[in-house]
Amino acid sequence: MGKITILIIAFSLIIVTTISSIQSVKATGSVSENWSKDTIYLNETVVFTAEVNPSSHVEWYLDGVVVQSEYTSSSRYIFAPIALGTYMIGLAVDGITNPMGPKKVTVIAEPTSAPTPIPTPTQVPTITPSPPPASSNFQLTQSILVAISIVVGIVVAVSMAYFKTHRKNKLSD
Protein backbone atom coordinates (compact mmCIF):
# COMPACT_ATOMS: atom_id res chain seq x y z
CA MET A 1 0.00 0.00 0.00
CA GLY A 2 1.11 3.53 -0.63
CA LYS A 3 1.92 6.15 1.96
CA ILE A 4 -1.26 8.08 1.20
CA THR A 5 -3.43 5.00 1.77
CA ILE A 6 -1.79 4.36 5.13
CA LEU A 7 -2.28 8.01 6.10
CA ILE A 8 -5.98 7.92 5.15
CA ILE A 9 -6.58 4.73 7.16
CA ALA A 10 -4.71 6.16 10.17
CA PHE A 11 -6.68 9.42 9.95
CA SER A 12 -9.99 7.49 9.76
CA LEU A 13 -9.10 5.50 12.86
CA ILE A 14 -8.23 8.70 14.74
CA ILE A 15 -11.62 10.19 13.83
CA VAL A 16 -13.51 7.07 14.99
CA THR A 17 -11.54 6.96 18.27
CA THR A 18 -12.20 10.65 18.93
CA ILE A 19 -15.94 10.25 18.31
CA SER A 20 -16.01 7.26 20.69
CA SER A 21 -14.35 9.19 23.51
CA ILE A 22 -16.64 12.21 23.05
CA GLN A 23 -19.77 10.03 23.20
CA SER A 24 -18.66 8.32 26.42
CA VAL A 25 -18.90 11.62 28.34
CA LYS A 26 -22.59 11.74 29.22
CA ALA A 27 -24.97 13.34 31.69
CA THR A 28 -23.79 13.62 35.23
CA GLY A 29 -24.90 16.04 37.86
CA SER A 30 -26.89 16.26 41.02
CA VAL A 31 -30.48 15.73 42.07
CA SER A 32 -31.90 17.31 45.18
CA GLU A 33 -35.10 18.15 47.02
CA ASN A 34 -35.75 21.13 49.24
CA TRP A 35 -36.20 19.10 52.42
CA SER A 36 -35.86 15.49 53.43
CA LYS A 37 -39.29 14.80 54.94
CA ASP A 38 -40.99 11.64 53.77
CA THR A 39 -44.39 12.79 55.03
CA ILE A 40 -46.03 16.10 54.15
CA TYR A 41 -49.39 17.73 54.70
CA LEU A 42 -51.86 18.10 51.86
CA ASN A 43 -51.22 21.84 51.51
CA GLU A 44 -47.42 21.46 51.25
CA THR A 45 -45.25 21.02 48.18
CA VAL A 46 -41.88 19.42 47.59
CA VAL A 47 -39.49 20.88 45.03
CA PHE A 48 -37.11 18.50 43.28
CA THR A 49 -34.24 19.79 41.14
CA ALA A 50 -31.74 18.16 38.80
CA GLU A 51 -28.51 19.80 37.64
CA VAL A 52 -27.13 17.85 34.67
CA ASN A 53 -24.96 18.37 31.61
CA PRO A 54 -26.39 20.77 28.99
CA SER A 55 -29.02 19.32 26.66
CA SER A 56 -29.63 16.26 28.85
CA HIS A 57 -33.07 14.67 28.55
CA VAL A 58 -34.68 14.87 31.99
CA GLU A 59 -37.94 13.08 32.80
CA TRP A 60 -39.82 13.32 36.10
CA TYR A 61 -42.20 10.51 37.05
CA LEU A 62 -45.17 10.48 39.43
CA ASP A 63 -46.13 6.90 40.32
CA GLY A 64 -44.36 5.61 37.19
CA VAL A 65 -46.02 8.05 34.76
CA VAL A 66 -44.02 10.81 33.06
CA VAL A 67 -45.31 14.16 34.31
CA GLN A 68 -42.54 16.39 32.96
CA SER A 69 -40.04 15.88 30.15
CA GLU A 70 -37.46 18.36 28.87
CA TYR A 71 -34.00 18.82 27.40
CA THR A 72 -32.11 21.05 29.79
CA SER A 73 -29.15 21.48 32.11
CA SER A 74 -31.32 22.43 35.09
CA SER A 75 -34.72 20.91 35.75
CA ARG A 76 -37.23 21.60 38.53
CA TYR A 77 -40.30 19.56 39.42
CA ILE A 78 -42.77 20.80 42.02
CA PHE A 79 -44.83 18.04 43.62
CA ALA A 80 -48.12 19.56 44.82
CA PRO A 81 -50.44 16.73 45.88
CA ILE A 82 -54.18 17.08 45.45
CA ALA A 83 -55.17 14.03 47.51
CA LEU A 84 -54.01 12.06 50.53
CA GLY A 85 -51.90 9.00 49.85
CA THR A 86 -48.43 7.71 49.09
CA TYR A 87 -46.68 8.86 45.94
CA MET A 88 -43.42 7.83 44.23
CA ILE A 89 -41.45 10.62 42.55
CA GLY A 90 -38.86 9.33 40.06
CA LEU A 91 -36.27 10.79 37.74
CA ALA A 92 -34.49 9.64 34.58
CA VAL A 93 -31.60 11.50 32.90
CA ASP A 94 -30.94 10.51 29.28
CA GLY A 95 -33.00 7.36 29.81
CA ILE A 96 -31.13 6.26 32.94
CA THR A 97 -33.22 6.18 36.12
CA ASN A 98 -31.91 7.62 39.35
CA PRO A 99 -29.80 4.88 41.00
CA MET A 100 -31.26 5.79 44.41
CA GLY A 101 -34.71 4.89 43.08
CA PRO A 102 -37.86 6.95 43.31
CA LYS A 103 -38.54 9.15 46.35
CA LYS A 104 -41.52 8.04 48.46
CA VAL A 105 -43.70 10.92 49.69
CA THR A 106 -46.69 10.27 51.96
CA VAL A 107 -49.37 12.96 52.06
CA ILE A 108 -51.47 13.21 55.22
CA ALA A 109 -54.29 15.45 56.38
CA GLU A 110 -53.45 18.42 58.55
CA PRO A 111 -54.20 18.03 62.22
CA THR A 112 -57.26 20.08 63.16
CA SER A 113 -56.08 21.16 66.61
CA ALA A 114 -52.50 22.13 65.78
CA PRO A 115 -51.41 25.17 63.80
CA THR A 116 -50.18 24.56 60.26
CA PRO A 117 -46.52 23.58 60.43
CA ILE A 118 -44.10 25.63 58.36
CA PRO A 119 -41.57 23.37 56.66
CA THR A 120 -37.99 24.30 57.36
CA PRO A 121 -35.45 23.49 54.69
CA THR A 122 -32.75 21.08 55.72
CA GLN A 123 -29.49 20.11 54.13
CA VAL A 124 -30.05 19.14 50.50
CA PRO A 125 -28.92 15.60 49.72
CA THR A 126 -27.02 15.18 46.46
CA ILE A 127 -27.42 12.19 44.18
CA THR A 128 -25.14 11.68 41.20
CA PRO A 129 -26.67 9.64 38.36
CA SER A 130 -24.51 6.98 36.75
CA PRO A 131 -23.29 7.72 33.23
CA PRO A 132 -25.48 5.98 30.68
CA PRO A 133 -24.12 3.23 28.45
CA ALA A 134 -23.30 4.05 24.84
CA SER A 135 -26.46 4.14 22.77
CA SER A 136 -27.08 1.67 19.98
CA ASN A 137 -27.49 4.61 17.56
CA PHE A 138 -23.97 5.75 18.35
CA GLN A 139 -22.61 2.22 17.93
CA LEU A 140 -24.35 1.98 14.56
CA THR A 141 -22.90 5.38 13.53
CA GLN A 142 -19.45 4.31 14.67
CA SER A 143 -19.69 1.06 12.67
CA ILE A 144 -20.78 2.98 9.58
CA LEU A 145 -17.85 5.40 9.94
CA VAL A 146 -15.39 2.52 10.22
CA ALA A 147 -16.89 0.87 7.13
CA ILE A 148 -16.73 4.14 5.16
CA SER A 149 -13.10 4.66 6.24
CA ILE A 150 -12.17 1.17 5.05
CA VAL A 151 -13.97 1.64 1.72
CA VAL A 152 -12.25 5.03 1.18
CA GLY A 153 -8.88 3.43 1.95
CA ILE A 154 -9.49 0.62 -0.53
CA VAL A 155 -10.68 3.06 -3.24
CA VAL A 156 -7.58 5.21 -2.75
CA ALA A 157 -5.27 2.18 -2.85
CA VAL A 158 -6.88 0.80 -6.01
CA SER A 159 -6.86 4.26 -7.66
CA MET A 160 -3.19 4.74 -6.85
CA ALA A 161 -2.30 1.31 -8.25
CA TYR A 162 -4.31 2.02 -11.41
CA PHE A 163 -2.74 5.42 -11.99
CA LYS A 164 0.75 4.08 -11.25
CA THR A 165 0.26 1.29 -13.82
CA HIS A 166 -1.43 3.64 -16.30
CA ARG A 167 1.39 6.18 -15.92
CA LYS A 168 4.03 3.47 -16.59
CA ASN A 169 2.18 2.47 -19.76
CA LYS A 170 2.02 6.12 -20.93
CA LEU A 171 5.75 6.62 -20.30
CA SER A 172 6.68 3.47 -22.22
CA ASP A 173 4.63 4.56 -25.28
Q: What is the fold of 30-108? A: Immunoglobulin-like (2.60.40)
- Helix pair angle (136-172, 3-23), 10° resolution: 170
In the prediction, which pLDDT does 5 show? 59
Domain limits, the chain: 3-23+136-172, 30-108
Burial 52-83 (b: 16+ CB within 10 A, else e): beeebbbbbbbeeeeeeeeeeeebebebebee
> What residues in the chain have per-residue pLDDT under 50?
13, 16-28, 134
What is this structure's pTM?
Answer: 0.48
